Amino acid sequence: EVQLVASGGGLVQPGGSLRLSCAASGFTFNNYAMTWVRQAPTKGLEWVSGISSGGGGRFYADSVKGRFTISRDNSKNTVYLQMDRLRAEDTAVYYCANDVTVANGRYFQYWGQGSLVSVSS
């Protein structure tokens, strides 16, 4: 059974930091790129960041570039999102997902349950 278990969320003050983790099982983790997608309360989905299967390629949405850092440890089947200089508008549920590339597209196949990040004073 595929599982993606996210952790590390919580309440943080503006300007603070958090590190999210996403532990994967049930599939060959190091064969897949991974991604983080967030959803602000009552809002839609927003892609945040992605990392290649080997970790050499890291990509960010403009809204988080320079503040968030994605990384992965393939020996632990885990992807991370280090979030610094957090703002109120970063408040959201953060989902991790594996990123599948096929001949005619790319999509997010398996999703974790989400980790809530609240930025407030």
Phi-psi group of 42: left, alpha or beta (phi > 0 → left; psi -120 to 50 → alpha; rest → beta): left
Radius of gyration of the chain from Cα atoms? 14
In angstroms, give the least distance from the CB of 17 to another protein. 24
Binders in 81-120 for another protein, by CB under 8 A: 95, 97, 100, 102, 104-109, 111-114
User: Quick check: helix, strand or coil at residue 84?
Assistant: coil
Please give the Cα distance from 16 to 34 (Å, whole number): 25
In angstroms, give the least distance from the CB of 27 to another protein. 13
Instruction: State the alpha helices, DSSP H only, in 6-102.
Output: none
Q: 17 or 40: whose CB is closer to another protein?
A: 40
In angstroms, give the least distance from the CB of 107 to another protein. 4
Rounded to 5 degrees, what are φ and ψ at 90? -85, -5
In angstroms, give the least distance from the CB of 79 to another protein. 15
In the DSSP assignment, the letter for residue 67 is T
Binders in 9-68 for another protein, by CB under 8 A: 37, 44-47, 50, 57, 59, 61
Q: Which residues bind another protein (CB under 8 A)?
A: 37, 44-47, 50, 57, 59, 61, 95, 97, 100, 102, 104-109, 111-114
